Amino acid sequence: MLKTTSLVWMMPAVFILLIPGAFGSIYWTSLFIMVLINILLTSSIRVIWLTGQISMGHAAFMMIGAYVSAILTIKAGFSFWLALPVSGLASGLVALVIGFPFLRVTGIYFSILTIMTSETLRHLAYSWTSMTGGKLGLSGIPNPGELTIPLLGTINFQGSSEYYYLTAVIVSVSLLILYLVEKSRYGLTSRAIKESSQLSGAVGINVLWYTVFNFVTACFFAGIAGSLFAHFQSLLTADSRSTFGIISTINFLLYMVIGGEKKFFGPAVGVAFVMVLTELSRTLQEYQSFFIGSLAILIVIKLPGGLIGIPQQIYSILKNTFVNTNAIHPPKSNPIERKL
């Protein structure tokens, strides 16, 4: 029996599957590869946000993943399939090491620390010529090559459609893991820490440990996304205008807020919406950023739940219009509520 919930799940899945065929051009397929990578990055930065912290250094963790994966495949002869998890682990390890000292402070102070770390790491990658190629960048990153999968046969991931499907599978599995973690007690605990870290501590939650856990998880998946990015681009540079600059992190936060940060799939909606809209509005030329910017401001003001909150917002408007809410919830006559 087909339930509505499984239909809701299947529709985007089918849509994702059809993209390379439907658009039929490398241009659009490449765009959607970047959409998928950005979905993973934005969904993972939201994991940090769940505990109430805003990391401004997410692009740096993507960079760590990208460079680790690139250097391992170019210089150490690793295959992509091994370099991918290793790059996630490397990114997570760095997050673990800096997480414990950094997450002792919260709020704006944590954001400042992560900005500084992000830029420091980017400068390191930009200057470490022997390892990262420095200003010239790191080129010749191999594509994943061939992989024999039972039932499907041997697939060569050289083409962009094949790489698209590979990215789709890896991003989907990553999102599934993040989803299961969020729906479990980890998610409840994270939200509790965001609500009140003081009370969370008092009921026995190790606040520092759980915030670091979320930070490391997020950075692990940022590393995975970085690795996918590196093998897609085949050329990495770390100058300030590259993908690893601060502006990327700001974009992730923007996608998250536009899509709706309260829901798990908000970031995915936000990324797809903004990136596709950016492509479609290229003809506006110099007015493009004005257009996207004003739209973003409008969404933030008018849609507190983001794009993904639209159905619920419409529902509540309809309910308020057609149903007399007082009839459903009569004023309580609880003696405790009575005040002098």
Provide the binding-site residues for another protein, judged by CB under 8 A: 177, 180-181, 184-186, 188-189, 191-192, 195-196, 198-207, 335-340
Find the shortest distance in angstroms from Cβ 206 to another protein: 5
CA–CA distance, 211 with 175 (Å, rounded to integer) = 19
Q: Within 13 Å of residue 276, how many CA atoms lie on the same side as its CB?
A: 13
28 or 186: whose CB is closer to another protein? 186
Q: Which of 20, 21, 45 shows the shortest CA–CA distance to 33?
A: 20
Reading the block at residue 209, the tokens are 């440990």
Find the shortest distance in angstroms from Cβ 169 to another protein: 17
50 or 71: whose CB is closer to another protein? 50
Find the shortest distance in angstroms from Cβ 74 to another protein: 32
Positive or negative CA dihedral for 224, 17, 2, 318? positive
21 or 331: whose CB is closer to another protein? 331
Reading the block at residue 127, the tokens are 């200057």
In one letter, which amino acid is 11?
M
Contacts of 334 (CB under 8 A, 6+ apart): none
Q: Within 13 Å of residue 244, how many CA atoms lie on the same side as its CB?
A: 30
Cα angle 239, 244, 246; round to 5:
95
Find the shortest distance in angstroms from Cβ 195 to another protein: 4
82 or 180: whose CB is closer to another protein? 180
Find the shortest distance in angstroms from Cβ 43 to another protein: 17
1 or 336: whose CB is closer to another protein? 336
